[in-house]
């Protein structure tokens, strides 16, 4: 209701419904960029799309360019286009098989497209080569694959590994709290949800913008379950 009131006020002030709508969208984006980060950064998405276009041209001319194939696959994973990412990773596999970062992203892409066994194997290979890779991020990303499939039991071990490595991740604590609650460990789950909120509160200002949504989710889940 408040958005409709704001729209009509802006429409009355500007005399232009399209301009009024654009102002509302701009305000929502500004608030989200400053405090929440629920909405993907449109400028980052544009830069990524531009780079994806460039890389596609490069690999069309040189389909054996392992580094370009890897970068293209990584960008597609970050975009959520896992099926296309797998195609490019497979093209680079012969040259990049010893690269831990390559195996990590390749594994997540395979897992997200349904081959959990192969994906898990690739992620484990990446972590064997580089146990602290990206501050434990591969553990978290693999756990989230399981969470999205409601396979909470298999999500638990990588999440526990992740929070051992990254002891100040609001996102990691929220995910672990959620999983423990789903597995019937309510008290432990609530404890980790509270850790998620605490991690957000103690984070530096630049990181709070990213962590705020996880702390908010933790508060909502605590209120709902207790």
What is the pLDDT, as a whole number, of residue 3? 54
What is the pLDDT, as a whole number, of residue 4? 57
What is the pLDDT, as a whole number, of residue 169? 96
Residue 123 structure tokens? 């992620």
What is the pLDDT, as a whole number, of residue 16? 64
Q: What is the DSSP string of 139-188?
A: HHHHHHHHHHTT-HHHHHHHHHHHHHH-TT-HHHHHHHHHHHHHTT-HHH
Question: How big is the chain by its Cα radius of gyration, in Å?
Answer: 21
What is the pLDDT, as a whole number, of residue 69? 97
What is the pLDDT, as a whole number, of residue 7? 52
What is the pLDDT, as a whole number, of residue 209? 83
What is the pLDDT, as a whole number, of residue 17? 67
Q: What is the DSSP string of 77-88?
A: HHHT-HHHHHHH
d(CA 186, CA 180) in angstroms, rounded, equals 7
d(CA 15, CA 182) in angstroms, rounded, equals 52
Q: Using alpha carbons, list the distances in angstroms from residue 92 to 12, 101, 164.
A: 57, 13, 32
Domains and CATH numbers, the chain: 153-226 (1.25.40.10)
Low-confidence residues of the chain, pLDDT below 50? 1
Contact 81, 112 (CB under 8 A): no
């Amino acid at each position: 209701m408040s958005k409709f009131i704001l729209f009509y006020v802006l429409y009355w002030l500007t005399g232009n419904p399209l301009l009024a709508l654009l102002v509302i969208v701009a305000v929502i984006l500004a608030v989200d960029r400053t405090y929440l980060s629920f909405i993907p950064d449109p400028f980052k998405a544009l830069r990524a799309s531009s780079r994806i276009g460039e890389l596609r041209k490069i690999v069309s001319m040189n389909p054996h360019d392992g580094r370009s194939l890897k970068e293209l696959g990584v960008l597609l994973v970050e975009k959520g286009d896992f099926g296309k990412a797998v195609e490019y990773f497979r093209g680079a596999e012969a040259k990049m098989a010893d690269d831990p970062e390559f195996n990590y992203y390749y594994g997540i892409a395979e897992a997200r497209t349904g081959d959990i066994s192969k994906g898990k194997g690739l992620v484990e290979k990446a972590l064997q080569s580089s146990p602290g890779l990206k501050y434990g991020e591969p553990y978290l990303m693999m756990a989230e694959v399981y969470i999205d499939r409601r396979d909470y039991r298999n999500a638990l071990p990588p999440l526990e590994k992740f929070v051992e490595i990254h002891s100040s991740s609001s996102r990691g604590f929220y995910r672990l709290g959620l999983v423990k609650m789903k597995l019937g460990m309510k008290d432990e789950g609530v404890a980790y949800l509270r850790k998620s909120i605490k991690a957000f509160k103690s984070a530096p200002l630049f990181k709070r913008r990213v962590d705020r949504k996880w702390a908010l989710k933790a508060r909502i889940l605590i209120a709902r379950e207790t």
